Structure 1
Amino acid sequence: MSIMLLSDGVSWSQSLVEHLFVGPVWPASILAAIVLSLVIISLLGVFSFDFGIDGPDLDVDTGLDVDTGLDPGVDAGVDADAGLDTGADADGHHAGADAMGGFAAATMKAVHLDRVPLMVWLTVFSLFFWVLSYVLWFEFDVRRYPATFLASLMLTVRNGVIAVVLTRFMTTPLHRLLVPPTHYHAHSLVGGVAIVETSSVDDTFGRARYATNAAPLLIDIRTTGEPISKGTPVRLLRYDADRKVYHVEATEPAVV
């Protein structure tokens, strides 16, 4: 009798492993196990995962009119040109970095990682990812695809994309709740302080980061005085509606 129970126990465990770690299911199972472990540790109070309630500090500029994502009907007044100023050869590498950073920030904003805490987002995503991987594999994919590395990789990517979309919709109420709507207008920023983002600012080129209670804004700035170096706080003196730039002056030496 004991031998039969042992045999049944081994058979059950082998079946469990085969179901959880086969084809595209195993990446989802590993991710779910890691996230579950982090959640349990956090709940037990052993370690606090502080991912910030306001989300990461993201640059939401994508090379178009900057949209704060807070009120589509409000003109943010910060038409950024992604550094495509032909007179700024010395800042070409900054323009490329800004473009990549803007793309990454726009992607994270699109999936709500700009406001939703990372731990919450990962928990929802891993749940959807595992359920999709398990159900689709045993109900659909297993009869059409071999459990090879290439096939599993493609199916994992497919499942991940679907899980991201579902997570995005599931976290929409939380995304709206975490940061209250804030209205920004071109002229409402005048008088505020921003931080120079490019290597320098002169009368032909320059950009700065204007902090908000959500993702910061990247705005185009110019100065008629001495060039201002990167990291220097600048005050927005006035807004040029024709050129869509802010004229600024340095408020203090550059931050080292």
Structure 2
Amino acid sequence: MSIIVLSDGTHWVQNVLEHLFVGPVWPASILAAIVLSLVMVSLLGVFSFDFGIDGPDLDVDPGVDVGVDADAGVDPGADAGGHSDAHHGADGAFGGFAAATMKVVHLDRVPLMVWLTVFSLFFWVLSYVLWFEFDVRRYPATFVSSLLLTIRNGVIAVVLTRFMTSPLHRLLVPPTHYHASSLIGGVAVVETSSVDSTFGRARYSTNAAPLLIDIRTSGDPIKKGTPVRIMTYDENAKVYHVEPAEVAVA
């Protein structure tokens, strides 16, 4: 009798594993298992998962220009720091796109673990239901098919997560409005490799997500990580002119 029970139990476990790790379901199952483990450990108070992420750099008001540096044109030559304007432009474009994407999906305010938990739940349910109720009769469980279906399920899960976290997004951090004039005299931190008269970007801390602002300096190039004080704002070029904070304070 015990042998029969053991055999039935083994068959049941094998059946469950076959359902959880087949086609596009297995990436969702692995992600769900990882996120569930992190949540359980966090709830037990063993460790706090902040992932060292302070939040993306986003502009929370259209009045503050955080677009790609309009003056960072393509120059075949390199600047004094060994970085060409084309390289600066690419960095700015990528940073702006990443920040806008994270804002759209609510990762600018919603804690990462909360967002991942909601996403992994939607991702797994979608992958499981769509595979066994629809996809399994139309697509083979090959790597390519599974990859394409996983991408489809992931996109749908992101959209659902975005709408599900909308109330939390509005509740966690009240909207903060900043305008060009309100930043004058404030201190920001250089975000790019350097700042000169043609290119530069800085992180301006707020009580919400930090702002990324385009900056210039008329003096010597300023290195990344240096605090700078915002002196003036050029309305035409949409950039802030800055000086090293210790020089400006003096």
TM-score by length of 1: 0.83
**Over residues 182-229 of structure 1, what are the superposed CA-to-partner deviations in whole Å (9 max), with x where a residue is unaligned?**
111111111111223344434444332222223322222233344434
Distance 1:27 1:243, change over 3 A: closer
Structure 1: distance between partners of 2:175 and 2:161:
22
Distance 1:209 1:145, change over 3 A: same
Distance 1:210 1:154, change over 3 A: same
Q: Which residue of 2 aligns with 1:158?
A: 152
Matched, 1:221 2:215: yes
Matched, 1:122 2:120: no
Alignment of 1:49-128 (within 5 A): 49-51=49-51, 56-60=54-58, 68=59, 70-71=60-61, 74-77=62-65, 80-81=68-69, 84-85=72-73, 89-90=78-79, 91-92=83-84, 93-128=87-122
Contact 1:193–1:236, Cα closer than 8 Å, also in 2: yes
Structure 2: distance between partners of 1:157 and 1:208:
34
Aligned length: 241
* Runs of 5+ unmatched residues, structure 2: none
Structure 1: distance between partners of 2:66 and 2:93:
16
Distance 1:83 1:123, change over 3 A: farther
Contact 1:56–1:113, Cα closer than 8 Å, also in 2: no
Matched, 1:188 2:188: no
The Cα shift of 1:83 comes to 5.6
Q: Which residue of 1 aligns with 2:200?
A: 206
Amino acid at match of 2:203: R
**What SS class does the counterpart of residue 246 from structure 2 fall into?**
coil
Q: Which residue of 1 aligns with 2:38?
A: 38
**Over residues 78-126 of structure 1, what are the superposed CA-to-partner deviations in whole Å (9 max), with x where a residue is unaligned?**
5552662457842433332232232222222221122211111111111
**Over residues 118-158 of structure 1, what are the superposed CA-to-partner deviations in whole Å (9 max), with x where a residue is unaligned?**
11111111111110011001100111111112111111111
**Over residues 47-67 of structure 1, what are the superposed CA-to-partner deviations in whole Å (9 max), with x where a residue is unaligned?**
222357xx634233xxxxxxx
Structure 1: distance between partners of 2:140 and 2:68:
49
RMSD, aligned α-carbons: 2.5
Off by >6 Å, runs of 4+ in structure 1: none
Between the aligned residues of both structures, percent identity stands at 75
Structure 1: distance between partners of 2:43 and 2:66:
42
* Runs of 5+ unmatched residues, structure 1: 61-67
Structure 1: distance between partners of 2:67 and 2:49:
36
Q: Which residue of 1 aligns with 2:9?
A: 9
